[in-house]
Amino acid sequence: MDSLSGFVEKIKYRNEENGYAILSVESGGEDYVLVGTFPMISEGEYISAEGHFQLHPTYGEQLAVETYEIKTPEDSASVQRYLSSGAVKGVGEALAKRIVKKFKNDTLRILEEEPERLAEVKGISERLAMEIAGQIEEKRELRRAMLFLSGYGIRMNLAVKIYQRYGDEVYTLLRENPYRIADDLSGVGFQTADEIARRMGVRADAETRIRSAVLYVLRLAVQEGHCYLPASLLTERLKALLRLEPENLRQLLLDLQMEKRLVLRCAPNDAEETRVYLANYDRMELHVAAMLKELDIRETTGHTRAEEQLALLEEEEAGLVLDETQRRAVLAAVQSGLLIITGGPGTGKTTTINAIIRCFEAEGAEILLAAPTGRAAARMTEATGREAKTIHRLLEVTGAPTGDGEGDSGRESWSTVRFDRNKEQPLEADCIIIDEMSMVDLRLFHALLLAVPVGAHLILVGDSNQLPSVGAGNVLRDLIASACLPVAQLTQIYRQAAESDIVVNAHKMMDEELIDLGKRSKDFLFIRQGSAEGVIQTMLRLITEKLPAYVGADAKSIQLLTPVRRGALGVVGLNPVLQAKLNPPGHGKAEREFPHALFRVGDKLMQIKNNYQRGVYNGDVGILSDINRFSETLTVRFDEGREVEYGFADVEELELAYAVTIHKSQGSEYPAVVIPVFSGPRMLRTRNLIYTAVTRAKKCVVLIGEPSYFYEMVANTKELGRYTGLADRLRELLQQEAQIE
């Protein structure tokens, strides 16, 4: 462990949210750079720090601080230096000199014990004296809290979060129930709170521990895509987490239900199964089902008018020919308040959407188009010739998320996210069309339905065979599976699409037909390779030499898709390899190494979490256009030329995107796609995963690996099931309506 003490000459960078800072410290006549978490530190203060010196490739030697202490100035010269640094607002160099001249070596005691006496100094009013005293007290209280929290092994950055949330209540709260921090703070999980509780002497079978564990397990389940857990599975997971048999669990669950934290429900067809929901997910499922039934209004008149409108449209639009299924879908869209359109690639979903748009436009209707991601919205705009927005932009999102609103670790917050378009301020539209519905999770769908105006038509379009949403729920499949709502299933593959082996083979996957990987094809190729190194070398040749000219696209626009993050053929392993080939170092080309990656101007980057303040969302891809070492920022140019600036402390929201997971590719389309096919966890080698990857390619898809692994993926229909109750809620409403009638 290295140590250093000295005066903070300059704060070169500070992140106000997490306290991360870069300090210039003068010690023994030399300047040093310190990096770490320094809550409320000020220039002019005397710091004693411990950590490890490290050599940064750009900034040279710096001390990565692990622990530190702010020392009280011990003489009048040090006090004057501290006050004149600007550490105390309202006190400049001249005023600091007068204060020290007046009180000499007693200055610090006066500041802390008799601050009203500062008014004796010329230029200081009683009000300013009390403001100065308040600042000094605040700094002292923070340092006291940091010392208290560090005594329980709490890291500095977490200690800052805890103190900012609870203030002076932190002492009582942690002694009474340390698990509160897992409930209240984003980025703090059960294990962190459990370790703190253990150090504070909380018993392993304490009720507060088990209660916190129940909520934590359910929040983890939400991260996995579930809306609830069966009580039996919840019990299993609790045993594994707590390493004990939780006693009186049923009563504890009932208590949490009384507190409106949980909801317990019997499964519709199994009285023995109890479903355990976080209360907000139970409410959302119920509310979504109710709103959908309100939208599901089917007109019994006007059928002839709609048919005449469609016939006129087909006559006027050269080349517009609809099959019977598409015609029924268009008529249903016009005559129904709600319609779901689903189908695989090449089945005419875009043609159907365009016909629906033209029918509504002919009636003078106001139409809004949206999709879950920026890339999906851009594809929709290109396909329809009309502006499409992301659903977030459509709903006019505001707010600054910090957790999930439920206190679970590492999740995006909905507690501070607000949509300006809602029930009180609905969208102004007669028809709303949402594409790529398979990507829409329960939360976002709930927000969308709240904003649909009375009397508007809602049309939901998607491919139910694709991967489900990243967030909780399985909305599109649940809507279809309920058999309670109007669904138009498009199945016919059109002639032009039928000429593409991408389309044909995608349908063969879902129809369980054998795909001939040895067939000569212009757009669906399989290259045999038996080793990871062979896959990588083949991949590099394709992306850098063969495919750009073949598909008429830049090498960076060709996307490598892989099922996994780790390993030689995962995102983490492949991205540096592709970066070295597609964007090597160059004279004058700025680069910066961060803990998780090295970024270089010209790199292809992906946003990996929603950031409502910046207006960028999980899955957005852009090019790194600038790295500014002076301001410690980098700039990324996203679609439509929109530039977004990030502080160096915020770059964990970005990662290299030459290779991305198949999950992250949903809603996107690329000129060409390269997919390594290899052995791995069975849960990540499923039919809908490879189906989603293949259907991302517009002109050409190349799979590299062993054919046996490809056939195993196509045969593996055992998806990771999701516990969702939306389909059941819709059926229950239908049954209730039937009983009333």
Q: pLDDT tens digits, residue range 463-497?
A: 988 888 888 999 999 999 999 999 999 988 876 66
User: If you count DSSP H runs as helices and E runs as strands, how many of each does the chain have, helices first?
Assistant: 27, 28
Q: Does 711 or 141 have the greater pLDDT score?
A: 711
Q: Is 348 annotated as a binding residue?
A: yes
Q: Is 389 annotated as a binding residue?
A: no
Residue at token pair 């698990």: 179
Other C-beta atoms lying within 10 Å of the C-beta of residue 311: 11
Q: Vertex 28, ends 27 and 29: CA angle to 5°? A: 95
Across 28-34, average pLDDT? 87
Q: Check whether 403 has a pLDDT greater than 60.
A: no
What pLDDT shows up at residue 318? Answer: 58
Task: Write phi, then psi, for 433 (nearest 5 degrees).
Answer: -115, 125
Q: Is 192 annotated as a binding residue?
A: no
Q: Tell me how far apart the alpha carbons of residues 590 and 625 are, in angstroms, rounded to a whole number.
A: 10
CA 507, 509, 512, 515 dihedral sign is positive
Residues in Cβ contact with 732 at an 8 Å cutoff, skipping those fewer than 6 apart: 268, 289
Closest C-alpha among 561, 643, 556, 639 to residue 602: 556
> Edge to edge, what strands does the sheet with 524-528 contain?
524-528, 697-705, 670-677, 559-562, 659-661
pLDDT digits (tens, 9 = 90+) for 415-433: 567 889 999 999 999 999 9
H-helix segments, 363-457: 374-384, 391-394, 442-451
Q: Tell me how far apart the alpha carbons of residues 258 and 244 are, in angstroms, rounded to a whole number.
A: 25
Confidence (pTM): 0.79
In the three-class reduction of DSSP (H, G, I as helix; E, B as strand; rest coil), residue 333 is classed as: helix
Q: Is 589 annotated as a binding residue?
A: no
Q: Is 347 annotated as a binding residue?
A: yes
Across 644-672, average pLDDT? 89
In the three-class reduction of DSSP (H, G, I as helix; E, B as strand; rest coil), residue 239 is classed as: helix
Closest C-alpha among 13, 43, 40, 39 to residue 25: 43
- 158 pLDDT tier (thresholds 50, 70, 90): confident
In the three-class reduction of DSSP (H, G, I as helix; E, B as strand; rest coil), residue 27 is classed as: strand
The most distant pair of C-alpha atoms in the chain lies apart, rounded to whole Å, by 96
